[in-house]
Amino acid sequence: MAYDKNNVFARILRGELPKVAVYEDQHTLAFMDIMPATKGHTLVIPKEPCETIFDCSPDGAAATIRTTQKVAAAVKKALGVPGVMLVQLNGTAAGQSVPHLHFHILPRAEGLDMKLHGRTMVDPKTLVPIAEKIRAAL
C-alpha cells in the first residue's frame, strides 16, 4: 500500500492542521495527542513519510526512537509519574488508526484508569499547560 500523503500526521507536518508541539528536530516531531488516553499522552512521529516501522528507513527509525526516549523521560519527569507506557502499532489489524509511523507515550501510575484511544477529543487549549511542563523537563 502506498503512503497516504493526506493522513492527519502528514498534514500536521505540513502545517495544514494545528498541533500542540512538545519537541521538534530535523527528523522528528513530538506533540500532544488530541484524543488522549491519559493526561500527558504524547505522540512522536518521524518527518519521513512512512506508514509503519517496516516502511521507515533505519536512520528514520533510529531518530524516532531517540526522540521517543528523550520525550518519554521528560513526560515522566514533568508529570511526576512512576512509569510510562510506550505503544507502537503497525497496520489496521494491530489497531493503528493513523497510517503514519508513531509512538504513543502514556504516563502511568498504579491504579490509573486508561480510556481507549481515539474515543474522546479534548479542547487543545487544555493540552498547552501539559506541553509546557514537558518542554520545561526536556
Which residue numbers are catalytic? 102
3-9: long-range pairs with CB below 8 Å, 24+: 3/49, 3/50, 3/51, 3/55, 3/99, 3/100, 4/51, 4/99, 5/49, 7/98, 7/99, 7/100, 8/98, 8/100, 9/45, 9/98, 9/100, 9/102
Give Cα separations from 101 to 8, 14, 136 (angstroms). Answer: 12, 16, 26
Under a CB-based contact definition with an 8 Å cutoff, are residues 68 and 86 in contact? Answer: yes
Q: What is the DSSP letter of 125?
A: G
